[in-house]
Amino acid sequence: MVKAVVGANWGDEGKGKITDMLADGADIVIRFQGGANAGHTIVNEYGKFALHTLPSGVFHPNIMNIVGNGMAFDIDRFTAEYDEIVSRGVPKPQIMISDRVQVMMPYHVQFDTLEEARLAGKSFGSTKSGIAPFYSDKFAKIGWQINEFYQDDDVLMEKINRIADQKDVLLTQLYHTDPIDRKGLLEWIKTRREKVKPYIGNVSLYLDQAIKADKTILLEGQLGTMKDPDHGIYPMVTSSSPLAGYGAVGAGIPPYAIKQIVVVTKAYSSSVGGGDFVSEIHGDEAVQLRNHGGDGGEYGATTGRPRRVGWYDCVASKYGCRLQGATDVAFTVLDDLGYLDEIPVVVAYELDGRQTTEFPVTKDLARCKPVYKVFKGWKCDIRGIRKFEELPQEAQDYVNFIEQQIGYPITLVSNGPGRDDIIYRDSPLRKA
């Protein structure tokens, strides 16, 4: 059975924890898109980890962890993360890297950094991880599949020259910096290819055999619906699709194999990067929520930047769950709201004098104002509770209302950072 774990919102919903938790019953975990531009924070018996490239199943030694073909594969980040987790006592994980994955090149990171600096105040809020230049090259057909690294020097040099002839014009004329060191790039390729060679395999064949053997496969997505380049808040989006539907492409499996789609949404809203964010709050109210939120505060796992925060947005989440095709919703960090006397929830947007519960296109978002319904807070610590019925009534009412508003069954409620801080819930919507 293939299950997908994806985000409903702007990313940072807690997908790493949910993937790590669901991996207890899985045989394979595969990252199917994105790269080192976003991190999944996981807390377990080994400590606290922020993974950027490794799949979130690496803490389970019996699981095969796969870097899928849809990823932007950063070899240096991969090897550094692998070495770090092993040095901290994690058993050496099983790893397979798709022989069709494309590689993040040094000049991708360079171009990302240079362009953000050039755009200055009009930048896209990039993490400068090279993601946009990487995917631009992939679709311009000048990217590097990992299998291409294992060719003779003259073949590699021919491609390096062809790419550098194009990119050097931009480097020298637009950015006024040095051209690509072509011989240095060849040596970079030869050094990196040896580091990952033992892990490279035919992932699509492996997964085909696993599906036929009825293995349990988790597809792990990065970011969320609002960062999708087609359906998100374009252009303040990422450069690959974080939708579950893309999981089939980014992993190399048939779409009909995906039977369960667990869409993760947080008990409040947060976002890193630019773009309209209707439920965003500011000032002391935002500082309080940011510092109570997440595990140690709402700060980017990749950049350390303070995340923008806001109250739960039913309009955005309903849209996000619909685009993902949610069969189940995982509702995370409910425990972080225990300090509040009252908890607002965005139930609609006011757009040009009218209320709407449908998420609008990007050009209209800036004119939208949040419409709130306010709930009474539960004012206590709910960590350690394992049955939904044992939560304070105010917490139950909060979850039940949001479930009704978004229209998808909330079957998992996370009330703490640890793997076991989870409530399995028999949703009325699931019965329906």
Catalytic residue IDs? 12, 40
Tokens of 94: 């099983």
Tokens of 149: 């690294």
Tokens of 55: 């799949």
Please give the full DSSP string across 363-406, using - where no structure is assigned. HHHTTEEEEEEEEE---S--TT---GGGS-HHHHHHHHHHHHHH
Q: List the one residue out of 2, 133, 21, 102 whose CA is nearest residue 412.
A: 21
How many of the other CB atoms lie within 10 Å of CB of 47?
Answer: 11
User: In angstroms, rounded to a whole number, what is the distance separating the alpha carbons of residues 111 and 174?
Assistant: 11
The alpha carbon dihedral of 233, 129, 264, 421 has a sign of negative
Distance from first CA to last CA of the chain, Å, rounded? 23
β-sheet with 200-201: strand ranges across: 200-201, 94-98, 64-67, 28-31, 217-224, 2-7, 258-266, 328-332, 410-414, 422-424
Q: Tokens 């070495």 identify what position?
A: 83
Tokens of 370: 């949040």
Backbone torsion region of residue 297, taken as left when φ is above 0, otherwise alpha when ψ lies between -120 and 50, otherwise beta: left
In one-letter notation, the amino acid at residue 308 is R
Q: b/e map of 80-112 (b: 16 or more CB within 10 Å)?
A: ebbeebeeeebeebbbbbbbbbbbbbebbbbbb
User: In angstroms, rounded to a whole number, what is the distance separating the alpha carbons of residues 35 and 311?
Assistant: 28
> Phi then psi for 319, rounded to 5 degrees?
-60, -45
Q: List the one residue out of 238, 220, 218 whose CA is nearest residue 15.
A: 220
Q: Tokens 């509040």 identify what position?
A: 340
Q: What is the three-class DSSP state of 314?
A: helix
